[in-house]
Amino acid sequence: MLLMIACGALLVVGLALTTMWSGERLVEPPAPSALVTARTATPEPAKRMPRHLAGLRVYVWWATVFTVLGTASGLLITGAGGRLIMRLLAETSPEATGSITEAFARVGDITVEGTTAYLVFGALPAAFASAALYLLVAPWLPPGRLGGPAFGALLLVTVAPFVEPLRTSNFDFAILGPGWLAVLLFAALAVLQGAFLAALAGRLSRGLPLLTRDRWLGPVSPLLAAVVLVPVGVVLAVGALVAFVFPRALPWILAVRASGAGVMTGRILLAIAVVAALPAFIGTVVTIGQR
C-alpha cells in the first residue's frame, strides 16, 4: 500500500508540474559558431574559444536537458503512472490474481523488487527514448500548449501498438482487463507523457545556462544521473566525443530540423508516419478493447 501511495504522490507531482509549466516552449541555445564569434570579437586573444570547446558546451546543454527529461518523466509519469495502471487493472481482474505476467511478475503482488524491475527495464528506457524523440521533433509540433499532448498522441499511434504499452502480442491483456479500460488508461498516460516532456523541456531550457569555466556545477550536475544509468551514460559519453571531434555536426542537424524547409519536411514525415501506423493502431484498440 505504501508503494502505491508513493507512486500516486509522484504522479500528482508530475501532473502539477505539467499544469504549471504547460505554456512553456523549448528555447534552444545559440549555435557554437555564435559563441566563437562572440568570443573572438573581444580584443584579448586569450579569451577566444576554440570551435571544438564551443560545440562541446552546446552538447553538454542538450545532454543535460535530455538526462533531466528522461529521468524525471521516467520516475513521475511512465514509472509511477504505469505502475498505478498495472495495479488498477489487477484490482479490476480479481480472477487473474496469482497469474504470471509476461514480465514474470505475479498478479496481485506489490513488491519493491517488481516495481524497481519495471522502472529500470520498462519505464526509464521508454522515457529516455521519448525524450530523445521529443527534442528531435519539437520544432515540428503544433505551437503553444498543444505541442506536448500532440507529441503524446503521436507516440500513442506510431509506437504503442508495435512496442509498448499496447502491443497485442502481450498476453497480459488476456488476463487483465477490461480491455477498454487498459486502452483508455495507457492512452491517457501517453498523452500526459508528451505534455510533461514539453512542459519540463520548456521550463528547463529557459533556466539552464551554458557551461562556463566559472559556472559548471549547475549545467553538469544533472548528468550524474547518467553515471547511475550506465547505458545512458555510455551513449552520452560517445556523443560528447563526437561533438568534440565534429563540432559542426550537432548544430547543423539542429539548424536543419528547425529551418523552414526542415519544419515542413518534418511535419510531412510525421503525417506519413501517423497515416501508415493508423490501421495498426485502430486494430490494436479494437483487439484489446474486445478482451
pLDDT of residue 100: 82
State the pTM of this model: 0.88
Q: Where are the domains of the chain?
A: 2-21+32-39+49-289
Pull the grid cell for residue 92: 479490476
Whole-number Cα distances in Å, 291 to 4, 71, 173, 176, 207? 26, 33, 7, 9, 47
Which residues, 6 or more positions from 34, have their beta carbon under 8 angstroms from its beta carbon?
none
How many CA atoms, within 13 angstroms, populate the side-chain half-sphere of residue 247? 17
Kindly report, residue by residue over 104-160, the tens digit of the pLDDT: 778 877 788 888 888 888 899 999 999 999 999 999 999 889 999 999 999 999 999
Alpha-carbon span 162 to 185, nearest angstrom: 17
What three-state secondary structure class fits 105?
coil
Which residues, 6 or more positions from 233, have their beta carbon under 8 angstroms from its beta carbon?
226, 227
Give me the average pLDDT of each 10-residue run along the chain (291 residues).
90 96 86 55 48 76 91 95 91 84 78 86 93 95 92 96 88 85 95 96 88 62 71 85 82 90 96 96 91 75
